[in-house]
Chains A and B, each alone.
Chain A
Amino acid sequence: MSALRWSYMDHWRADTPRGPMTQYGSRRLMDDFVKQISAVGFEGLDMFDFQIYGLTQMFGSIEKYQEYLQDHGITKIVNLFRGIMYDPRVADPHVRETHDEIVESTRRMLGMWEGLQVENLIVMPASLYADTAPVTKDKIKAAAECWNRVGEASAEFGVRTTGHHEFFCAIRTEEDILSFYEWTDPRYVSFFCDTAQHCIAGVDPVALYLKLHDRCSGFHFKDTREVDTTQAFASRPDAELMAPQTARWFYEMGTKGGLVDFPRLMHALKEHEFTGWITVEHDKANIGGDYAESTALSMWYAKHVLREIYP
């Protein structure tokens, strides 16, 4: 029995006769999607929490959707990514007055997913850098307070709250990330290591994992070919798709010129006996590529390179 299982983080788009569409567009597209990720060996699925609305329409309930996944070879929905549009007037982790809304909206959302055994609720722990700057200790402490409360609430649902640090997020440097975990309660807030995001931010994801391995509850395994050398993280209105430095930050594992040292990371996971789900992601793969091919290539790399290190 392998110590690791592989889950797929959904950003899927497929070319269709009416142009690019997601699998939420029709049952046929959903069938295509699920069969493809299952075919190459994924057993779990990660998604954005708000997809529950469309899935409930399509399948009747989220439980029925998970049964459908199981019928097609996907064991469970593993992790949810919290979709919140941060706004300092309504919901923003560094604004203490908005914490009640963040906690309560998260509680409402998790209530809708209560019938499943979701493992992690993945959150971006602070707003965009550009909307938060200057990043101060107090703002990080405010965010820590926010996620401690959210984590305590999510624990009631059996779900861990875990921080995922986008390169354009306000808590992005190694020093700030470590401070954030120092100021959060390990019972309620875990660390979710996104390999490419840290790399782009100039943080070594392996070194970061080694420092936070006892807090780490999961991974997004994806690669990048670029470190942000132009302060793209601070750019408005968007750093992810509109940065002048590159149109595409993210690539699948095994890409030529990839900066993430996955073999070294796998050795670290083995050393610290990490067990459970690893999530593969290749966000924006459709920019100069396609999701199906990137998905197969990622799993090829997992099976042929990474499993050799840590089965």
Chain B
Amino acid sequence: MNRWGYAVNAWAPVRREHQERMLKVVSACGFGHIELSCGSGRWEPLGRPEWIARNHGSPAGFLGFLAECGIDGVSSFYFDPGLLTEEEGFIPRSAADPGDRDAIVATAALFTDFLADIGGSVVVARPTPSQWQQPLARPGAIGAVARCWEAVGAYARDRGVTLALHVDFLSALRADDNLDRLLDATDPALVGMALDTAELAVAALDPVVFYRQYRERVVHVQIKNTRQADSRDEYALPHAELNLLRGGGSYGEQRWFHDLDTAGGLVDVAGFLAELDATGYDGWRIVESDHSPHPAETAMHNSWFLRHVVGVKRS
């Protein structure tokens, strides 16, 4: 039985009743698990284990809350050590900097422990800062990144959790042969990869081809669509988060990510899922409403597409 979940990164619920509404929408769309994303402060009450505990008492309390909303559990937690958070003193960290390793491992452990306590299975991590920041330019940087994530992966493995590195379209791993070098430098038993269909398509990579090439390392899948590739490599220009991801770059994209069956979508979602089925992929398949101005509508569209076009059975 394939494992399906829904990433709730497009919602921003603060009040408990808004969390409830979000979770019930996801449940009504037939998804039994959710993927959480890291955040900061009391305004993002599902963004860190500490805030989940303050809002819901304990991991068990949170599970009870999820169950009341028809959600069976948490599949995974996305963690970006470069995110500015008040809990980390607003210090962005990079795995390429050996001096940041211990702090990254310690913070990743928070998410890992939470997942272990709650029955989740994958910590999804942003492996490096963006390419425009040139995090891998320094000699030995790939080795530092590898050691950092191996340490995180080892801790996770001991807790029964899998580490999946998520390569987004701004990533320094998109450039040159950085990804291959990192994979060669890491132990597959400790460091896996999260494949995000739309991030790859924006990076002008075919998700099916990518999956075939890195199948042995792909342990987690996130599914969304896009209509525009960054064909002019604007990800490498300064402040790409501001100018490209949020500003749309010279392409004028107001949002990069779209519903699974969006008109003009670059990702053949049905074809990609067929490839997963054909190769016996057994990890999570996480669907997203990322960038949608109406996350509920997008979740409903995506649910319909999966059920009626792809033939996925409802949970």
Give the CA-CA distance A276 to B305 in the complex, in Å.
27
A39 interface residue per 8 A CB criterion: yes
Indicate the member of A15, A290, A304 with the most B CB atoms within 10 Å: A304
> Across the interface, which residues of A come within 8 angstroms of B307, CB to CB?
39, 73
A84 interface residue per 8 A CB criterion: no
**Shortest distance in angstroms between A128's beta carbon and chain B's nearest beta carbon?**
34
> Across the interface, which residues of B come within 8 angstroms of A290, CB to CB?
294, 296-297
- Contact A256 B17, CB 8 Å, known A39-B301, A304-B70: yes
B24 A36 Cβ-Cβ under 8 A: no
> Across the interface, which residues of A come within 8 angstroms of B296, CB to CB?
290, 292-293, 296
A38 interface residue per 8 A CB criterion: yes
A296 B28 Cβ-Cβ under 8 A: yes
**Shortest distance in angstroms between B11's beta carbon and chain A's nearest beta carbon?**
10
A159 interface residue per 8 A CB criterion: no
> Across the interface, which residues of B come within 8 angstroms of A73, CB to CB?
304, 307-308
Interface of B is mostly: helix
Which chain B residues numbered 287 to 315 have a C-beta less than 8 Å away from chain A? 293-294, 296-297, 299-301, 303-305, 307-308
> Across the interface, which residues of A come within 8 angstroms of B24, CB to CB?
254, 296-297, 300-301
> Across the interface, which residues of B come within 8 angstroms of A38, CB to CB?
304, 308
| Interface bin, chain A | 20 to 34
A1-42 CB mask vs B (1 if < 8 Å, else 0) is 000000000000011000000000000000010011011110
Indicate the member of B29, B69, B305 with the most A CB atoms within 10 Å: B29
> Across the interface, which residues of A come within 8 angstroms of B69, CB to CB?
300
A276-296 CB mask vs B (1 if < 8 Å, else 0) is 000000000000001011011
B25 interface residue per 8 A CB criterion: yes
A64 interface residue per 8 A CB criterion: no
Residue of B nearest to A295 (CB): B300
Give the CA-CA distance A168 to B294 in the complex, in Å.
34
A303 interface residue per 8 A CB criterion: yes
**Shortest distance in angstroms between A255's beta carbon and chain B's nearest beta carbon?**
10
B300 A292 Cβ-Cβ under 8 A: yes
Give the CA-CA distance A35 to B298 in the complex, in Å.
10
B27 interface residue per 8 A CB criterion: yes
A39 B300 Cβ-Cβ under 8 A: yes
Give the CA-CA distance A40 to B69 in the complex, in Å.
15
B308 A72 Cβ-Cβ under 8 A: yes
A35 B304 Cβ-Cβ under 8 A: yes
Give the CA-CA distance A60 to B61 in the complex, in Å.
54
> Across the interface, which residues of B come within 8 angstroms of A206, CB to CB?
none
> Across the interface, which residues of B come within 8 angstroms of A297, CB to CB?
21, 24-25, 28
Give the CA-CA distance A40 to B293 in the complex, in Å.
20
A170 interface residue per 8 A CB criterion: no
- Contact A292 B294, CB 8 Å, known A36-B301, A40-B300, A304-B70: yes
Give the residue of A15, A39, A40, A304 whose beta carbon is less than 8 angstroms from that of B294.
Answer: A15
- Contact A32 B301, CB 8 Å, known A293-B296, A297-B24, A300-B70: yes
**Shortest distance in angstroms between A26's beta carbon and chain B's nearest beta carbon?**
13
Give the residue of A36, A254, A256, A301 whose beta carbon is less than 8 angstroms from that of B304.
Answer: A36
Which chain B residues numbered 98 to 152 have a C-beta less than 8 Å away from chain A? none
> Across the interface, which residues of B come within 8 angstroms of A304, CB to CB?
27, 70
Which chain B residues numbered 3 to 23 have a C-beta less than 8 Å away from chain A? 17, 21
B294 A35 Cβ-Cβ under 8 A: no
> Across the interface, which residues of A come within 8 angstroms of B70, CB to CB?
300, 303-304
Residue of B nearest to A71 (CB): B308
B304 A300 Cβ-Cβ under 8 A: no
Residues of A within 8 A of B (CB): 14-15, 32, 35-36, 38-41, 72-73, 254, 256, 290, 292-293, 295-297, 299-301, 303-304
8 interchain pairs, CB-CB under 8 A: A39-B29, A39-B304, A254-B24, A290-B297, A292-B296, A297-B28, A303-B28, A304-B27
List 10 A-B pairs, minimum CB-CB distance, nearest first: A39-B304, A35-B304, A36-B300, A39-B303, A300-B28, A300-B24, A296-B28, A296-B25, A293-B296, A292-B297
